[in-house]
Structure formats: structure tokens, C-alpha cells
Chain A
Amino acid sequence: GESVGLHLPTLSVQEGDNSIINCAYSNSASDYFIWYKQESGKGPQFIIDIRSNMDKRQGQRVTVLLNKTVKHLSLQIAATQPGDSAVYFCADGGGYNNNDMRFGAGTRLTVKP
């Protein structure tokens, strides 16, 4: 079946550096993708999303890039802070009229002071 995957299970960065978390998807019909942040003991928290008619979308300190040719998306966090330490998930929202969101396994980001 279709899957959503992440390239690295863990990522460690120095405080103040930029972080890049990658994700691959397999469903060619997918047109909506979301990034979530999950802190320990908490539910996922929406960070940013992107639709397939865009290549890039920016939020506050975060940027999502979508490459539909190779079915890859990435989350960039600028000036990473200790509060950014968490597990980050990408989710594939599927195609139009789809209600079944598929999550990747997650990347644990650790920010070193």
C-alpha cells in the first residue's frame, strides 16, 4: 500500500543552526501534506501544511518544500531553539475528498545548547 517515510529517525543540531527534516511519500495522487510537532507526552501539534500546487510555503521560522517529481518534502526550521526539540511527523493527506491521513514514523530532533 501507500506509505509515508522519513529519511532519518534522529537529528541533532546546535542551537542557532538551521534544521532540515526530510520525508518521502509514495502516493502520486496525494495533493496535501502536513508537518506536525509532537512533544513528549503530548498530542501532535500542527506546524505547517502545503498543497501540491505549491513548491514552497513559509511560516514563522519554518519552511516546507515540496518536490512532486521525486515525491519528497522537507521541513526547514531556522535558528533552531531548545524548544524545538521534539518528534516531527510528516503526514500525507491523500488526494481530493480523502479523509485518511497517513503519518510517517517521525524524526526526533534534539537541539544542543
Chain B
Amino acid sequence: NAGVTQTPKFRILKIGQSMTLQCTQDMNHNYMYWYRQDPGMGLKLIYYSVGAGITDKGEVPNGYNVSRSTTEDFPLRLELAAPSQTSVYFCASSYQYRDSNQPQHFGDGTRLSIL
């Protein structure tokens, strides 16, 4: 199994550009999450989804949008890139939440720089 796959691994954007970070999982997980990790910091939840067609805001949703049209895919959209969005973005998935038998699986991240 591939697990959680994120693309691209690296990207440089100019201020004001837009892009979509892709995330796909092949474990048939209900829950999917997007986090950002700033240098020397822990992860902060941007958006999450409990199933296809359902999304909700996390701690830091401003400047981002998500959609969940299928169980497998959970893309994250940046509409107007700003320097403050320079970060490493992690996608994760889990079958349940708060279940140690079904912990979150993380992708290897997308490193995004806004210049």
C-alpha cells in the first residue's frame, strides 16, 4: 500500500499565485486532515474531513479551501499565496478519530515557499 501520498514535494510560488496541494490515500479512511508546520513548531490543523462531501475548519483555515468529492482525495487550495503561507504542509488520514488502533497516517509533506 502507498498510504498517504502528497504531491508536489516542493514548490515555489510568487505572491498572489494560486495552487492546489494534492493528497490521496488508498486505505479507505474516512477522516482526512491538512496540517501546516512552520519551522521549529508543531503542526496546526487547517481543515479536516470526516467523509466524502463533508469538510470543516481547523485551527488556521484562513487563506485555504478544501473539497472532498471522493473518499481517496482531499486537495488543499491556496487562492492568493502570501508569504505567511510559507510552510511545510502535511496531509493525514485515519479510519476513526481518537482511536489508537486506527492512528493517523501522515504523508511526507509538501514544502511550499512563497516569494
The residues of A with any CB-CB pair to B shorter than 8 Å are: 4, 9, 32, 34, 41-46, 48-49, 89, 91, 93, 99-106
Contacts of B97 on A, CB cut-off 8 Å? 93, 99
Given contacts A43-B92, A46-B103, A99-B56, contact A104 B109 (CB under 8 A): no
- Within 8 Å of chain A (Cβ to Cβ): is B90? yes
Within 8 Å of chain A (Cβ to Cβ): is B86? no
> What are 28 inter-chain pairs, A to B, with CB distance below 8 A?
A4-B42, A9-B40, A32-B98, A34-B103, A42-B106, A42-B109, A43-B4, A43-B92, A44-B104, A44-B106, A46-B103, A46-B105, A49-B103, A89-B42, A89-B43, A93-B97, A93-B98, A99-B56, A99-B97, A100-B45, A100-B48, A100-B58, A100-B59, A102-B59, A103-B42, A105-B40, A106-B41, A106-B42
Interchain CA distance A43-B110 in the complex, whole Å: 10
What's the Cα separation between A101 and B107 when bound, in Å?
Answer: 17
Picked from A32, A44, A46, A99, the residue with its CB within 8 Å of the CB of B90 is A44
Count of inter-chain pairs, beta carbons less than 8 A: 58
The answer to whether the Cβ of B100 comes within 8 Å of any Cβ in the partner chain is yes
| B4: chain A residues within 8 A (beta carbon) | 43
Tell whether, in the assembled complex, residue B104 and residue A46 are in contact, meaning their CB atoms are under 8 Å apart. Answer: yes
Residue of A nearest to B9 (CB): A41
Q: Which 9 interchain pairs have the tightest Cβ spacing?
A: A43-B106, A103-B42, A46-B103, A49-B100, A103-B43, A32-B98, A104-B42, A105-B42, A43-B90
B residues adjacent to A (C-beta < 8 A)? 4, 31, 35, 40-45, 48, 50, 56, 58-59, 90, 92, 97-98, 100, 103-109
CB nearest to B106 among chain A residues: A43
Query: Which residues does chain B contribute within 8 Å of A89, judged by CB atoms?
Result: 42-43
Residues from chain A with Cβ under 8 Å of B45 in the complex: 100-102
Write the chain B residue with the least CB distance to A1.
B59
Please determine whether A41 and B108 come into contact, CB atoms closer than 8 angstroms: yes
